[in-house]
């Protein structure tokens, strides 16, 4: 199969929701190659504890690339304990300027329970508006659903789960097999 014929990896929807002093990051488990589901139980939400400070991270994109970025983020957090935004900016700088890291294809949503950030390979460290962030194949569906649910009754986890269920119903690259991590109150 020529490189131009490769159907491409798809999969994963990650959402971060902050409400009531609690932050939840939830992600589905689907990995697809073209129109084929390769795995439905991938775990793309992780809890990190560099320097004794809890951080939850979710990733979309290449798993190997994401693990490289998570290792780099942990290293940055060990250098700047308890300073998620500073560590994220340092990671984004490296990602943008390092020739090796520039080739990595992944995005991250990270939180320490106070801050909720999206980190991209374009050098962005974004704090989302409306306390909701989403990335991945079904990210826009999950984002829209969560924003619509933010004023309704329910905590951050309930909103994240409902939004992911809606995304899974719409996006063929998203499934309902969730990994959910909560941090904060």
DSSP 145-177: HHHHHTTSS--HHHHHHHHHHHHHHH-TT--S-
Which own/partner pairs from 96-103 qualify as long-range (CB within 8 Å, at least 24 positions apart)? 96/121, 96/122, 96/123, 101/68, 101/69, 101/72
Catalytic-role residue among 12, 63, 174, 182: 12
Q: How many residues does the chain have?
A: 185
Cα–Cα–Cα angle for 164, 40, 47, rounded to 5 degrees: 65
Residue 130 DSSP symbol: G
Q: Is 182 one of the catalytic residues?
A: no
Q: Based on the number of CB atoms within 10 Å of its own CB, is 34 exposed (0-12), middle (13-18) or buried (19 or more)?
A: exposed
Q: Where are the alpha helices (DSSP H) in 3-155?
A: 63-79, 84-97, 139-149
Cβ atoms 50, 74 nearer than 8 A:
yes
Q: Would you name the residues annotated as active-site residues?
A: 12
């Amino acid at each position: 199969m020529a490189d131009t014929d490769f159907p491409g990896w798809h999969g994963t929807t990650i959402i971060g929701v902050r409400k009531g002093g609690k932050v939840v990051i939830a992600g589905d488990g689907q990995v697809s190659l073209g129109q084929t589901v390769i795995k439905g139980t991938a775990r793309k939400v992780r809890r990190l504890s560099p320097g004794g400070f809890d951080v939850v991270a979710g990733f979309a994109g290449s798993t190997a690339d994401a693990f490289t970025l998570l290792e780099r983020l942990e290293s940055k957090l060990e250098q700047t304990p308890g300073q998620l935004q500073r560590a994220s900016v340092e990671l984004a700088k490296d990602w943008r300027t390092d020739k090796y890291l520039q080739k990595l294809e992944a995005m991250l949503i990270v939180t320490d329970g106070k801050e909720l950030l999206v980190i991209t390979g374009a050098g962005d460290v974004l704090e989302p508006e409306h306390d909701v962030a989403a990335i991945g194949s079904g990210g826009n569906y999950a984002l829209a659903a969560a924003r619509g649910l933010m004023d309704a009754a329910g905590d951050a986890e309930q909103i994240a789960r409902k939004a992911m269920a809606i995304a899974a119903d719409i996006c063929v690259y998203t499934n309902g097999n969730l990994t959910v991590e909560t941090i904060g109150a």
